[in-house]
Copies of this chain bind each other. A is one copy, B any other.
Amino acid sequence: MRSDNPNSNLDDKPSNSVTQWFIEGYDGSALMIKVRETLFEKRSLQYIQIFDTESFGKMLVLDGKIQLTEKDEGMYHEMLVHVPLFSVDNPDKILVIGGGDGGSVREVLKHEPTEVIMVEIDREVVDACQMYIGVDEGALKDERVTVLFEDGIEFVRTSKEKFDVIIVDGTDPNPVSKNLIAEEFYRYCSKIANLFATQSQSPFVQDQYFVELIQNARRGFNFCSVYINYVPTYPLGLWSYLLASNNELNPSYAEIKRRWEERKIETKHYNPELHMASFALPEWLKKRLEKI
């Protein structure tokens, strides 16, 4: 990869050179990731950076926030996708909003849907990930998948199509993605799909975004549940997701397990026990949700 990379000027770097660290700051804390090489860096709609790291493989950063590393992206994507998709029989037509790296579509395809539409606003993210990371494992070129480069909120506002499930794989709210936590967005989504899942930020260090997202989602969908997961390179390791639906949805462990066995999906992180467990929230988070 190195010799093909026009952004790299490190080929002759001596071995005793200064160590490079990527640093993502939170409130009074920060995560440092040791970087071997910057593979790609470009201002697009967002500021895109791709690094080769010492212990986490390739890493995608948008506007200074880690979006994925090869080492733990499975933990994030599997819980985002498999929790909603194992919650229903026959998830056949799926809409993915965001998710330019292709990891979510890769997981969706394991359920053998007929059709997947991915709507990503920033074509440069898709192109850079295809060139330097490739976590989609060919998913974005699969014949069942259509990739559209447009604004997700515009797509759901004007869509005449219906979907079995909508999955939102967005960034931290920024000028490009902030529409994806707006009330109208959830209202539009609830008109074209009965089941919806989104990442919903860290409830531990991003309380403001978390609260806004939950409040607005509750205005769009009749039923909203938060589930949590461990993603090491996301802020302080705890991540949350929202599962929302128009009709009440409380699948039993037996149902989830049956679908898991029928679909014969291989995972690194997700399993039916973790699916059920992820809805058990600590006291502080239960109380936080009661107050929203």
Binding site for B on A (CB under 8 A): 21, 23, 27-34, 53-56, 75, 204-205, 228, 230, 232-233, 236-238, 267-271, 273-274, 276-284, 286
CA A204 – CA B30 in complex, angstroms?
A: 19
Q: Which residues of B contact A286 (CB under 8 A)?
A: 271
| 20 new A-B contacts at CB < 8 Å, known A232-B237, A271-B280, A273-B281 | A21-B30, A23-B32, A28-B56, A29-B31, A29-B233, A75-B282, A228-B230, A230-B237, A230-B238, A232-B236, A232-B238, A236-B237, A237-B238, A267-B283, A271-B282, A271-B283, A274-B283, A277-B277, A277-B278, A277-B279
Closest residue of B by beta carbon distance from A270: B283
CA A27 – CA B33 in complex, angstroms?
A: 9
Q: Which residues of B contact A274 (CB under 8 A)?
A: 280-283
Determine whether the beta carbon of B28 is less than 8 Å from that of A55. yes
CA A28 – CA B71 in complex, angstroms?
A: 12
CA A230 – CA B204 in complex, angstroms?
A: 11
Closest residue of B by beta carbon distance from A274: B280
Q: Which residues of B contact A32 (CB under 8 A)?
A: 23, 29-32
Q: Which residues of B contact A236 (CB under 8 A)?
A: 232-233, 237
Rank and list the top 10 A-B pairs by shortest CB-CB distance, nearest first: A237-B237, A28-B55, A277-B280, A277-B277, A28-B54, A232-B236, A273-B280, A30-B32, A28-B34, A269-B282
